[in-house]
Structure 1
Amino acid sequence: MDRIWLKSYPAGVPADVDVNQYPSVVALFEESFAKYRNDKAYVFMDKAITFGDIDRLSRDFAAYLQGLGLKRGDRVAAMMPNVLQYPVTVAAIMRAGFIVVNVNPLYTPRELEHQLNDSGAKAIILLENFAATLQQVIKNTSIRHVILASVGDMLGFPKGAIANLVLRKVKKAVPSFSLPGAVRFNAALAAGKSKAFEKPSIKPDDVAVLQYTGGTTGVSKGAVLLHGTIIANLLASEAWTLPGLKRKPISGQLTFICALPLYHVFAFITCGLLAMRTGGVNVLIPNPRDIPATVKELAKYKFHVMPGVNTLFNALANNPDFAKVDFSQFRIANGGAMSVQEPVARKWLAITGCPIIEGYGLSETSSGIACNPTDSDAFTGTIGLPLPNVEIRLLDDDGNDVPHGQPGEIAIKGPQVMAGYWQRPDETDKVMTPDGFFKSGDVGVMDDKGFVTIVDRKKDMILVSGFNVYPNEVEAVAVQHPGVLEAAVVGVPDKNSGEAVMMFVVKKDQALTREELAAFCVKNLTGYKKPKYIEFRDDLPRTNVGKILRRELRDQAVKEMAVSR
């Protein structure tokens, strides 16, 4: 397919960016540490750290990690929400020559055990709030070194001590745990100061990050993101962002609101690395579900860029105090991870004066590979145009290009695409075409200007507030309950989260209740994966070979929900 989208590019955006500007993410870090040394890099609970601080702290922590006896290429897990230790930790892991394994801190023990075992992580840095989860599974993993952070570690005295006291004793946010041999984060930094740091040679094709995703099935797999892969996505994202930043003069340091979790690839690139590249400061929001607290934080800053998901934009727009925030410098609101709804975009624009620019990406593509022009004021309802260096084809079930204007599976090629799934060549083969295109599982249509619209999903994945939920995984958990004979899981529309999880269950034990099964799911599944609806059935619809017809169940559920309204 010709790159017909190039004619729709904003002025100044190149068809391709030079992905060889940096040999590694570490080279980018070190350039920015020197270039912006005295500028703020991150702010958390009003405490700011500079680029120079991250340079010094991550060097000390890298030396400490190297002193543990880890080998080049070993995996080190980072299990933290948006706190100051996260950027220090990621920079340290990469500078030491190791591979970052991003871990959702809200994982249940079952989910955490799988990811640690699959990645083969030897060490983990985590916030103490989640240490009790690790305690339950650590003996079943290859973890040999545990570094425990606390929220107050980097806030200074007395603020840090007060924050830790409140979280531990008042809010009871740190469940009791026992992890013998664990080292405290600040102790590790102190120990690293006196250790020699050996700077490894890192090349573009070295692995930087394992970003876990369900891929096309329910088994969580690590998308292998190379240093060159991440740099390619970052530089394309920067080129795409510049027209939006230039349309009006900007005053002060470029300021990002980081309300999305940095362990998610969207924020990792669009907040963490883009701010690092441009000398911007990230205002960290640790819990964006606390809308009043988030609005209170936003009110402190004249910010320029805010990536988000539809549910966050909607919740903020419906908060009465949000309209009082100073939006005079607000230039770009990136919408991603789930579809942006037009009523939300319309209300957001009316309040902020800054349109939501919708984009599209996956863990397997190092975040965004398509986006609407950032200098646009119009809501298009599309995912926009392919970014620089990206090729998109729309394929039929046989792998052939569909006629222009017809729906087909979105297939993506470019330096942003992962090297494959970690140690799963069979799964990699399923999603890659012979000529190197990654098959997304999403069905789209491209118009004559190159804008792509998502129209369907080939796979059964459910998208809850921007997070992937795979029916296979939820079903596998449900059938472990002794009262469940079989289960089928589908996604149904939800005004708050885009989609919600609905489970259909055939009982083995007729005494089983919804409440009992729901409690079982809560114990074994992260919050966004747990079923919002549970319906008991005598049997489930099947094909002639016995496969459960999820689509039929979904269609029935959507129809019944429409009638009940």
Structure 2
Amino acid sequence: HSFGGVVSSLAPLSIGVPLIILPRFQPAAFLATIQKHNIAVRVPWPSGFFIFVTEEGMAEYDLSSLRNILLGAAPVSTELILDTGEKLRKRGAKDLEITQAFRLTEITYVINILQVRSRIGSIGILLPNQEARLVDEDENDVNEGERGELWIRGDNIMKGYLHNEEATRNAITPDGWFKRGNIATRDSEDFYAIADRKKELIKRGKAFPPAELEALLISHPDVADSGVIDIFLSPKRQSSQEFTMRQSEIPSPSISFL
């Protein structure tokens, strides 16, 4: 992985910043490591980010050293980012910033995350010398604010997958556009936001991303976390299954608010 190998590992070492690597992920060890080494920057995957909200023992640890949490790999709802940021700042991390990024080994970096800090939920704007399109299922460009599959083109795109011509053809169009099935939106100022992955869209009357329903579930004050998966009932029937994690010591939430 280009991000894990270069940005998370080599970049800190190249400027003399200590790098702490855990042999395996365990919530208590993760939080204790932040406290012990006064870690300032954390680059978790979304499930690792949820620990800040769901771990019951979080109050036992000093997390005030945190200054930046960089999210990627999957969409995280704006509500969860804001709620987590507020909780951590109240616990002493007053200068904390939480940003989202878009990264793939096949394309390296194409989004400027440094301009996202005032736009929670956005992954930023394109870096110089990059092109992007948002297209519908017929490969037509969508309008501003509408969801579409994100296509990227630039000199940073890989040549292809080694010894896998079919996968390369599916990922790169003849005119050089790279597509990986990421669904995104673009606003009037060309800021992008990732909605979900195309292969994870649930089609029931119309296609909608699981992240949209997850964000709605998390907006309920009694829900700490949620997950939505698609269920194939038959070749012509598809449904969804929702899972929620309750805030501690509260009764099961009602779904009437939906």
Tell me the residue number matched to 2:12.
Answer: 275
Q: Deviations over 1:505-536 (max 9, x none)?
A: xxxxxxxxxxxxxxxxxxxxxxxxxxxxxxxx
Within the candidate set 9, 18, 38, 1:302 is matched to 38
Tell me the residue number matched to 1:315.
Answer: 51
Secondary structure at the residue paired with 1:423?
coil
User: Are the aligned partners of 1:332 and 1:355 in contact in 2 as well (CA < 8 Å)?
Assistant: yes
Task: Quickly say closer, same or farther: Cα 1:310–1:460, change in 2 above 3 A.
Answer: closer
User: Are the aligned partners of 2:44 and 2:69 in contact in 1 as well (CA < 8 Å)?
Assistant: yes
Deviation at 1:361, TM superposition (A): 2.1
Task: Quickly say closer, same or farther: Cα 1:296–1:382, change in 2 above 3 A.
Answer: same
Tell me the residue number matched to 1:242.
Answer: none
Task: Quickly say closer, same or farther: Cα 1:416–1:332, change in 2 above 3 A.
Answer: farther
Measured in 2, the distance between the counterparts of 1:400 and 1:276 equals 44
Report 1:38-77 matches (<5 A): none
Within the candidate set 23, 36, 40, 1:286 is matched to 23
User: Are the aligned partners of 2:75 and 2:195 in contact in 1 as well (CA < 8 Å)?
Assistant: no
Tell me the residue number matched to 2:133.
Answer: 393
Tell me the residue number matched to 1:365.
Answer: 107
Measured in 2, the distance between the counterparts of 1:440 and 1:312 equals 24
Measured in 2, the distance between the counterparts of 1:416 and 1:272 equals 20
Task: Quickly say closer, same or farther: Cα 1:396–1:345, change in 2 above 3 A.
Answer: closer
User: Are the aligned partners of 2:228 and 2:242 in contact in 1 as well (CA < 8 Å)?
Assistant: no
Secondary structure at the residue paired with 2:24?
coil
Report 1:331-410 matches (<5 A): 331-350=67-86, 351=88, 352-353=93-94, 354-366=96-108, 368-373=109-114, 376=117, 378-410=118-150
Measured in 2, the distance between the counterparts of 1:305 and 1:399 equals 39
User: Are the aligned partners of 1:271 and 1:307 in contact in 2 as well (CA < 8 Å)?
Assistant: yes
Deviation at 1:403, TM superposition (A): 3.6
Measured in 2, the distance between the counterparts of 1:302 and 1:321 equals 15
User: Are the aligned partners of 1:307 and 1:333 in contact in 2 as well (CA < 8 Å)?
Assistant: yes
User: Are the aligned partners of 2:115 and 2:125 in contact in 1 as well (CA < 8 Å)?
Assistant: no
Measured in 1, the distance between the counterparts of 2:111 and 2:21 equals 25
Is 2:128 aligned against 1:442?
A: no
Is 2:204 aligned against 1:541?
A: no
Task: Quickly say closer, same or farther: Cα 1:360–1:302, change in 2 above 3 A.
Answer: same
How many residue pairs match? The answer is 224
Task: Quickly say closer, same or farther: Cα 1:295–1:435, change in 2 above 3 A.
Answer: same
Query: Which structure has the highest helix share of the two?
Result: 1
Which AA in structure 2 matches 1:359? A
Tell me the residue number matched to 2:206.
Answer: none
Within the candidate set 46, 63, 67, 1:325 is matched to 63
Within the candidate set 416, 423, 427, 2:167 is matched to 427
Task: Quickly say closer, same or farther: Cα 1:347–1:404, change in 2 above 3 A.
Answer: closer
Task: Quickly say closer, same or farther: Cα 1:307–1:416, change in 2 above 3 A.
Answer: farther
Runs of at least 5 residues in structure 2 that lack an aligned partner in the other structure: 203-208, 219-223, 244-253
Measured in 2, the distance between the counterparts of 1:433 and 1:369 equals 18
Report 1:113-512 matches (<5 A): 264-288=1-25, 290-317=26-53, 318=55, 319-322=58-61, 324-327=62-65, 330-350=66-86, 351=88, 352-353=93-94, 354-366=96-108, 368-373=109-114, 376=117, 378-460=118-200, 493=214, 499=227
Q: Deviations over 1:301-336 (max 9, x none)?
A: 2333211123222213441123x2342xx4321111
Query: Which structure has the highest strand share of the two?
Result: 2
Secondary structure at the residue paired with 1:434?
coil
Runs of at least 5 residues in structure 1 that lack an aligned partner in the other structure: 1-263, 463-489, 505-539, 544-548
Q: Deviations over 1:139-183 (max 9, x none)?
A: xxxxxxxxxxxxxxxxxxxxxxxxxxxxxxxxxxxxxxxxxxxxx
Which AA in structure 2 matches 1:314? F
User: Are the aligned partners of 1:355 and 1:379 in contact in 2 as well (CA < 8 Å)?
Assistant: no
Measured in 2, the distance between the counterparts of 1:389 and 1:412 equals 11
- TM-score w.r.t. the length of structure 1 is 0.35
Deviation at 1:562, TM superposition (A): 5.3
Secondary structure at the residue paired with 1:393?
strand
Which AA in structure 2 matches 1:331? R
User: Are the aligned partners of 2:227 and 2:242 in contact in 1 as well (CA < 8 Å)?
Assistant: no
Task: Quickly say closer, same or farther: Cα 1:403–1:375, change in 2 above 3 A.
Answer: closer
Task: Quickly say closer, same or farther: Cα 1:334–1:420, change in 2 above 3 A.
Answer: same
Q: Which has the larger radius of gyration?
A: 1
User: Are the aligned partners of 2:151 and 2:178 in contact in 1 as well (CA < 8 Å)?
Assistant: yes
Secondary structure at the residue paired with 2:36?
coil
Percent identity between the aligned chains?
25
Tell me the residue number matched to 2:247.
Answer: none
User: Are the aligned partners of 2:69 and 2:99 in contact in 1 as well (CA < 8 Å)?
Assistant: yes
Which AA in structure 2 matches 1:307? V
User: Are the aligned partners of 1:266 and 1:337 in contact in 2 as well (CA < 8 Å)?
Assistant: no
Task: Quickly say closer, same or farther: Cα 1:302–1:308, change in 2 above 3 A.
Answer: same
Measured in 2, the distance between the counterparts of 1:337 and 1:391 equals 21
User: Are the aligned partners of 1:421 and 1:427 in contact in 2 as well (CA < 8 Å)?
Assistant: yes
Task: Quickly say closer, same or farther: Cα 1:501–1:287, change in 2 above 3 A.
Answer: farther
